[in-house]
Structure 1
Amino acid sequence: MQNDLPDKGAESDASYAFREHRLSWVAYVDAVLKGAVAIAIAVALMLAPRWIMMTPITAQMLFYAGIAFVVCALGLLVYRLFYIRRVRLYTDQDGVWCYRGILPWQRGIVGTNWRDVRQASYGTGFLRWATKAYPINVDNRFTDTDPIRLAHVHRGHEFVGHVNAWRNRMLRQDGETLR
């Protein structure tokens, strides 16, 4: 999506073009590691009768509980991976938006209009810098109930700079004071 506001002089450049960002590979690794830990716990449940003396009925119950836990963990892992793939963070002429969800009743867009954006911010750190996966927050200046918060946004620091530049540009065009 490469659009721009009506040109107001020499300040229009690539930093004002509309953008779309997705979650980084770090989000996938995070989901896979959490799934691996859950599966390891389930396998430990299934193998517990080999390490601890217990009655046969208890051993059988632990084995079936471990199988159920593995199936649930795998299902949640697959769901989480598909969910991460569907998350889109983007800007357009109306504001900042996040599209997410897989299931029809959960699918949707949340966001904030440009006139309502207080600020956008991101978290810093060495690992975040090294992986270029930043957590971002886009706050609404009127309510604290519906900010956009996403972890592991690929090049999220650039997205935050883009949102703040657009917000300032929109406010200057409307003649508001920057706060």
Structure 2
Amino acid sequence: MQNDLPGTGADDDAAYAFREHRLSWVAYGDAVLKGGVAIAISVALMLSPRWITVAPITAQVLFYAGIAFALCALALSIYRLCYLRRVRLYTDQDGVWCYRGILPWRRGIVGTNWRDVRQASYGTGFVRWVTKAYPINVDNRFTDTDPITLAHVHRGHEFVGHVNAWRNRMLRQDDETLR
């Protein structure tokens, strides 16, 4: 059985190397599934005058409403897929960061410095274990308003182990400098 904790194997440098993680294919599948359901509802709305008897003007309104709903659902699905592609979760010498956003006014980096990280955690479960897509949460020890929370991070359990190992390493270094 392999131990994934840093400091227990020959490749300590690899365990402490800075990392970048992206979202799993499960996040993309979720976006495609939701978009497909929305488009199916809009097609049903467009075809509903064939199944039920309505006035001709109502049939036209339902048809055009279905087209508008389908176009909106398609546009939102494309936006969501592009957004998911831009999400990057990474660590560097300063802390844990998440870059996300497409539109210029929504694009940016959120994160926490190493000295401010309380802990990192992830959710478990059979489906998450099979797909290797874990929800992660990196908490700030001073505020509860700015945690980094992402669902479906590819190998998120490894990222959480990496963040907690770095946090413990920084705490040990701070403890040694105080002595």
Match of 1:107 in 2: 107
Match of 1:48 in 2: 48
SS at match of 2:146: coil
Cα displacement string for residues 42-91 of structure 1 (whole angstroms, at most 9, x for unaligned residues): 00100010011111111100000000000000000000000000000000
**Structure 1 runs of 4+ with >6 Å offset:** none
Quick one: which amino acid aligns to residue 26 of structure 1? V
Match of 1:7 in 2: none
Distance 1:151 1:170, change over 3 A: same
RMSD, aligned CA:
1.3
- Structure-2-length-normalised TM-score: 0.91
Q: 1:92-103 counterparts in 2 under 5 A? A: 92-103=92-103
Match of 2:169 in 1: 169
Quick one: which amino acid aligns to residue 45 of structure 2? L
Quick one: which amino acid aligns to residue 175 of structure 2? G
SS at match of 1:175: helix
Match of 1:149 in 2: 149
Question: Are 2:31 and 1:28 aligned?
Answer: no
SS at match of 2:152: strand
Match of 2:131 in 1: 131
Alpha-carbon distance in structure 2 between the residues aligned to 1:175 and 1:11: 25
Cα displacement string for residues 18-65 of structure 1 (whole angstroms, at most 9, x for unaligned residues): 000000011110000000000000001000100111111111000000
Match of 2:14 in 1: 14
Alpha-carbon distance in structure 1 between the residues aligned to 2:41 and 2:16: 48
Match of 2:6 in 1: none
- Structure-1-length-normalised TM-score: 0.91
SS at match of 1:102: coil
Unaligned runs of 5+ in 2: 1-9
Match of 1:158 in 2: 158
Quick one: which amino acid aligns to residue 15 of structure 1? A
Alpha-carbon distance in structure 1 between the residues aligned to 2:63 and 2:129: 43
Alpha-carbon distance in structure 2 between the residues aligned to 1:98 and 1:121: 15
Percent sequence identity over matched residues? Answer: 86
Alpha-carbon distance in structure 1 between the residues aligned to 2:162 and 2:54: 61
Question: Are 2:119 and 1:119 aligned?
Answer: yes
Quick one: which amino acid aligns to residue 159 of structure 2? F
Alpha-carbon distance in structure 2 between the residues aligned to 1:144 and 1:63: 47
Shift of 1:13: 2.2
Alpha-carbon distance in structure 2 between the residues aligned to 1:56 and 1:146: 53
Shift of 1:14: 1.1
Match of 1:60 in 2: 60
Quick one: which amino acid aligns to residue 147 of structure 1? P
Alpha-carbon distance in structure 1 between the residues aligned to 2:118 and 2:171: 11
Unaligned runs of 5+ in 1: 1-9
